[in-house]
Amino acid sequence: MLTGFAPAPRCGFTLIEMMVVVAVLGTLMVVGLPSFSVLLQNYQVRAAAESIQNGLQRARAEAVARNSKVCFKLGAGSAWSVGYTTDATACTTLDSHSSSDSPNVAISATASDLSTAATTLTFNNLGQIVANADSSASLGRAVATSTGGGNQVLHVTINAGGGARVCDPNLPAGNVRKCGTGE
């Protein structure tokens, strides 16, 4: 007697099921891509601001460690360098950082009066701000903004004692990361 074979169990997905999954994923990517782009732009602004803050902290610590004057110079974009002063105008580079991690960020740097452009800050052996060797205005604030569509704006402020802080002027009142008056 002939016996019939039992049908083999079905494994895998059909072509229609796969096409539906691809269509749903494609739709989700199209909807989510603009917000992901803004997220990346905002990350670049934060990276640039924190890089400048780290450079300022490095310069201040180096001044105390070397027991001499150390200068911080802000370059193009969020690039910076830290160097020690050997005479009235020279600033020999100890450390530097490029702006390659933040290509879509613009930095505007001003003195503490917020009206004069400034890119250099000098610390003495106690970590306090002193006059720059070239008599230029001392850096007081750097503002990082996105040039590629992000909505983040961050300020790097330097207080009178030489401490650097990153703050956000767009946060609600009462938030500790909000910029104060004049920051």
- Cα–Cα distance for residue pair 59/69, rounded to 1 Å: 9
Q: Please check whether residue 162 lies inside any domain of the structure.
A: yes
Q: What is the pLDDT of residues 85-135, one digit of tens each?
A: 876 667 778 888 887 777 888 888 888 887 888 889 999 999 999 988 888
Q: Please check whether residue 6 lies inside any domain of the structure.
A: no
The pTM for the full model equals 0.79
Q: Please check whether residue 21 lies inside any domain of the structure.
A: yes
The CATH number of residue 142's host domain is 3.55.40.10
Q: Please report the pLDDT score of residue 3 as a whole number.
A: 66
Give the residue, 47 or 150, on which the prediction is more confident: 47
Distance of CA 163 to the CA centre of its chain: 17
The residue segments making up the domain with residue 64 are: 15-167
Q: Please check whether residue 37 lies inside any domain of the structure.
A: yes
Q: Please check whether residue 5 lies inside any domain of the structure.
A: no
Q: What is the pLDDT of residues 142-171, one digit of tens each?
A: 999 988 777 889 999 998 888 999 998 888
Domain total of the chain: 1
Is 118 in contact with 136 (CB distance < 8 Å)? yes
Q: Please report the pLDDT score of residue 151 as a whole number.
A: 82
Is 117 in contact with 129 (CB distance < 8 Å)? no
Question: What does the block give as tokens for 64?
Answer: 């105390």
